[in-house]
Amino acid sequence: DDLANRRTFFGMMTVYDACILGCMVLNVSTKGSIAVFETLGITIAQSHYNLLSSKAGFIVSTCGALGVFALLSMGYIAIFLNDLQMIIYGMLVMIFGILALTAGDDDADNPTWIYVVAIFMIYSIGYPVGHTALIGLFSKIIGRRPQG
């Protein structure tokens, strides 16, 4: 408790407050990137990978279903990685997926497998693992303190 109530080197907030703020920023960044893919994922598939919306929707939904298995495996993953490691791993996988999508040309001649791999990295691994670990860490930081 003494460490949590110490002031940070900025002096404006405690270590506890800085941790809460950090979790909130990470939460916005992970949810924000998923929101972009939910909004633009099919459009990107059509314009950059020449995919029909039905095929792109199938790819996204399949990868989302695989992400459920990642969520169900969180207890097993936690044996090998702590919350912070899972957050970093999830964010890195999401970043690599995003970079894979941005590496293509603006024309529709990009290979479809790049889209599939990128969506798999984002929806099946990165977001489920990273965001779930982030929510778990946030819950551990809050603990039994009043939340209102």
Q: What is the pLDDT of residue 2?
A: 63
Looking at the predicted structure, is the pLDDT value of residue 68 above 90? yes
Phi-psi region of 51 (alpha: psi -120 to 50; beta: other; left: phi over 0): beta
Separation CA 77–CA 97 (nearest Å) = 21
Q: Which has the minimum average pLDDT: 4-8, 53-57, 58-62, 121-125?
A: 4-8
Q: What is the DSSP letter of 113?
A: H
Separation CA 121–CA 127 (nearest Å) = 8
Separation CA 90–CA 133 (nearest Å) = 9
Q: What is the pLDDT of residue 70?
A: 93
Whether 108 contacts 49, CB under 8 Å: yes
Q: What is the pLDDT of residue 16?
A: 77
Q: What are 11-65's pLDDT values in tens digits?
A: 677 777 778 788 888 888 888 888 887 888 888 898 899 999 999 999 999 999 9
Average pLDDT, the chain: 85
